[in-house]
Amino acid sequence: MRWLLLLLLFWPVAGMAQQGIEPGDIRIELELEERPHAPHPGEMILLSIHGTYRIPVVREKLLQPELDGFDWMQLGEDRWHKAREDGFEVLKLERRMALFPQKPGRIEVPAFTHALEMLARNGRTVPVEVASNVVSLQVAPRAEDETWWFPVRGIEISDNWSNQPETLDPGGAALRVITLIVEGTAPQRIPPMPELTGAGAYIFPHPEHRVVALGPNGPVSRVFWRWTVRPKEGSAGYVNPMAFSYFDAESRETVDIRLAAQRIAHKDGPQEIAASSSAVGTEPDGKDTGWGLPALPPMPGWTVPVAAVLGVVLGLGLALRGGGQGAWRLPARLRPDPIWWRLRRAVWQGDAGAVRTAAHAVIAGQGGAMPDALKRLDQAVYGNGSDAPDLRDVLRAVRSPSKDGV
């Protein structure tokens, strides 16, 4: 039995030697970046695949295993270059990937296999397969009290208006664009576009826009939130402040961001601040438009189109800065599930009815039993006097039904 095991162990080496390939001619290694702290679920960890080849490669294909327990992104194309090693000229392969662990505990990255067709020293073209090492990492649990878990390695936030919101031309409007440039995260991990509210102003939300650039140090995601804002007639208005949080993967701290309130007024109109509630979704007479947007009184036709064009130009300019052709594609594996997206957004906004609808859609898609937290939410929504559960408990119960007694 011992001889059989030794034979199986050295069989590939012996076969390669017969084909004119020596041990050490081919080497492929996996390397995880070293971090001072164990990552939490959702944090980025960089994986490097290094290949070294001392004889010519005619054809190759790097076979990636199933990365169970990870979301992942390949960071650009494979890089091939020549180098010298121990006096020999060798061919080098480098591939970079961003891994996002999905759960705490120890998770293994299985071996990659390189299927090669090589020109051996005896002049023959021979097929060879070589497997890499296996690596693993320990993922630390995180606190469960965050409504939206948003880990980043770096973030830049800008808040711009197309023109001065306090001194608008008569009948004019302004386009507000909030831009987040985030390092080390995928676009769908950025919080959903918040609702902009205020008083004495008409507010038009525009569809948000998300893009990603893939570089050797990880993805850089950009999100653009846009609103067109116009004061109501006969008063000055304002928009309320907005706030969200993120987890700084470098300092290991949660950081709170608050965007200030803003006064909205026509320069020749009344300057007193309106005391009414939010003007979003109503006509001047208070009638709901049915679309969540106001029906504006007549205003110069050029104001909103010009503001919209400025917003598009600003967004494209930021998106194209530092990104080449094809740099902004999001892998299908990382595109957000729309039902889960609606559920998380509803929890983030505190909308119990929307949480109930989205949670039932998730349960129906999973084919599982209804968690107790969702049952309590149903009872609360239908008004039988029961207390509504914390919406974050509903999200956790739907995501992990076994923890809710199902």
* Cα 160 from Cα 356, distance rounded (Å): 35
Q: Which one of 79-88, 301-310, 325-334, 338-347 scores highest in mean pLDDT?
A: 79-88
Specify the pLDDT at position 269: 62
CB atoms within 10 A of CB 51: 24
Whether pLDDT at 285 is above 50: no
Packing angle between helix 391-399 and helix 338-349, nearest 10 degrees?
Answer: 160
Whether pLDDT at 281 is above 50: no
CA atoms within 13 A on the CB side of 400: 7
Percent of the chain with pLDDT over 70: 70
CA atoms within 13 A on the CB side of 13: 8
Strand segments (E) across 6-78: 26-32, 45-53, 57-63, 70-74
pLDDT digits (tens, 9 = 90+) for 368-390: 677 777 777 777 666 555 566 78
DSSP 135-159: EEEEE----S--SS--EESEEEEEE
Q: Give the CATH number of domain 2-139.
A: 2.60.40
CB atoms within 10 A of CB 352: 16
- Measured CA to CA in angstroms, residue 278 lies from 199, 229, 238, 271, 293 at distances of 4, 12, 9, 18, 12
pLDDT digits (tens, 9 = 90+) for 179-189: 999 999 999 88
> What is the mean predicted confidence (pLDDT) over 235-256?
91
Q: What's the chain's average pLDDT?
A: 77
pTM (global) more than 0.75: no
Return the higher-pLDDT residue of 124 and 145: 124
Q: What confidence category does residue 28 fall into, taking pLDDT thresholds of 50, 70 and 90?
A: very high
Q: What confidence category does residue 364 fall into, taking pLDDT thresholds of 50, 70 and 90?
A: low
* Cα 169 from Cα 92, distance rounded (Å): 62
Q: What confidence category does residue 286 fall into, taking pLDDT thresholds of 50, 70 and 90?
A: very low
> What is the mean predicted confidence (pLDDT) over 328-356?
63
CA atoms within 13 A on the CB side of 72: 16
- Residue whose token pair is 């020549």: 82
Specify the pLDDT at position 393: 80
- 3-class DSSP assignment, residue 319: helix
Return the higher-pLDDT residue of 386 and 131: 131
What are the extents of the domains in the chain? 2-139, 151-320, 337-404
> What is the mean predicted confidence (pLDDT) over 390-394?
80
> 269: which 2 tokens?
């109109």
Q: What confidence category does residue 9 fall into, taking pLDDT thresholds of 50, 70 and 90?
A: very low
